[in-house]
């Protein structure tokens, strides 16, 4: 006797597997795209260098006591201000222990009175130090 199977389509199994594979590929592509684009938009923040300064009220100077290797003065914003005005000091080269800022000669124009010197690391937007020296 011959059994007749009505209503069963043997081709439907391969169509379901095809849809499942297409959905899996779409999910995998979305995951790869998400990883790629979030990696591109994530901000790469630089580390703040470890620099310490020693102010001298008698000599009207600020000296670098210690500094990380490969720290560049171009990456540091130096602002010198008093009660009425401010100026920026630009230094070039590598930051080394012993580098000195002479408040009576270095800034142009020279500021008088109580002077505040602020050091800010540009790449990490971090304050390295702020020092106030009176009677400049």
Beta-strand pair 86-89/76-81: antiparallel
Q: What is this structure's pTM?
A: 0.67
CA angle 84, 90, 93 (to 5 degrees): 160
Domain boundaries, the chain: 51-133
What is the tens place of the pLDDT at every residue in 76-132?
Answer: 999 999 989 999 999 999 999 999 999 999 888 888 999 999 999 998 899 999 999
Residues facing 94 on adjacent strands: 72
pLDDT tens-place string over residues 64-74: 999 988 899 99
């Amino acid at each position: 006797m011959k059994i007749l199977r009505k209503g069963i389509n043997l081709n439907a199994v391969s169509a379901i597997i095809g849809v499942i594979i297409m959905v899996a590929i779409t999910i995998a592509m979305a995951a790869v795209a998400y990883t790629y684009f979030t990696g591109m938009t994530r901000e790469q923040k630089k580390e703040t260098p470890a620099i310490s300064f020693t102010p001298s009220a008698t000599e009207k100077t600020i000296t670098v006591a210690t500094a990380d290797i490969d720290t560049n003065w171009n990456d540091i914003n130096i602002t010198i201000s008093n009660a009425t005005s401010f100026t920026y000091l630009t230094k070039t080269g590598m930051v080394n222990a012993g580098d000195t800022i002479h408040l009576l000669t270095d800034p142009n124009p020279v500021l008088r009175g109580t002077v505040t010197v602020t050091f800010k690391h540009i790449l990490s937007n971090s304050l390295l130090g702020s020092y106030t020296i009176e009677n400049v």
